[in-house]
Structure 1
Amino acid sequence: MFDKENTQEKNYIIYTKAVSRGLLISIILILISAMLFYFTDLNENYMSSAVWIITILSICYSGIYGAFKIGHKGYVHGALLGAIYMLILFIVALLAERGQVNLKTYLIMFVMSIIIGGLSGMIGIVLKNK
């Protein structure tokens, strides 16, 4: 029988796994890019672009993974996962920078995360149905 409460509990677990995996990918890619910038002659001006790309890739992975595992309404779940991911990054930035964050940048990144997450969720549903 279909148990709505059990399904919601399962979705929380999937959300937690998806965001955790996205954050883990972010950490790994940031460490790789930091080593790349340190050991090569790459200009440090490209670091902000690298962070944007890493953020987008992590949100894409979270959205695809979450929607694939849940199996329906991929755009909604992907958008929520993107929003949760960006809220976690915002909280970490607030704590790390002692309240000195650029709200305009994080607002842009939040909107971007919802859009990218929704699109990634749709990709996850397409992959699930194949």
Structure 2
Amino acid sequence: MEKSSFLPIGDGILRSTILTVIFMLIYAVIMTFVDLSDKTNSVFYLVTTILSIMYGTVYAVRKINKKGWLTGIVIATLYMLIIYFVSIIAGNNLTVDNRMMIRFLLALGVGALSGMLGINI
């Protein structure tokens, strides 16, 4: 990637992270009034991750206008690393297991497909 593509990638990651924070704040308000199961929490986190990666990737690819799949993979990787580092800082004990690897691979797939979608919109 050339130098001019780094700024849109940074903007895409920032936008996807902000979208995640907004979704989490809304979900936190809902959780104060309603008792939700662990399965519901897991589904919500997965959907939030997918939508955030899609939004950030499509935004960045529309600005760059080339190499959509590569941009999507880069954004998904950096987004997931940010999420994992914030989770570690927050005190969660993260272990590398099958579930974590599946989420990471899903994020890469969503990023690549969103990048292709962003080029063709």
Tell me whether the two structures share a fold, i.e. TM-score over 0.5.
Answer: yes
- 5+ long unaligned stretches in structure 2: none
Q: Does 1:103 align with 2:99?
A: no
What CA distance in whole angstroms lies between the structure 1 residues aligned with 2:66 and 2:35? 43
Is the deviation greater in 109-118 or in 44-53?
44-53
Match 1:92 to one of 79, 86, 89: 86
- 5+ long unaligned stretches in structure 1: 1-6
Match of 1:37 in 2: 31
CA shift for structure 1 position 116 = 0.3
- Contact 1:37–1:44 under 8 Å retained in 2: no
Match of 1:81 in 2: 75
Match of 2:66 in 1: 72
Q: Name the SS for the 1:29 alignment partner.
A: helix
The count of corresponding residues between Structure 1 and Structure 2 is 119
Q: Name the SS for the 1:57 alignment partner.
A: helix
What CA distance in whole angstroms lies between the structure 1 residues aligned with 2:4 and 2:30? 39
What's the % identity of the aligned pairs?
Answer: 29
What CA distance in whole angstroms lies between the structure 2 residues aligned with 1:57 and 1:44? 21
What CA distance in whole angstroms lies between the structure 2 residues aligned with 1:44 and 1:68? 38
Pick 1 or 2: higher relative contact order, CA cutoff 8 A, min separation 6.
Answer: 2
CA shift for structure 1 position 37 = 2.1
Is the deviation greater in 65-74 or in 17-26?
65-74
Between Structure 1 and Structure 2, whose CA radius of gyration is higher? 1
Q: Name the SS for the 1:103 alignment partner.
A: coil
What CA distance in whole angstroms lies between the structure 2 residues aligned with 1:22 and 1:14? 12
Q: Does 1:19 align with 2:43?
A: no
Match of 1:126 in 2: 120
CA shift for structure 1 position 42 = 4.6
TM-score by length of structure 2 reads 0.89
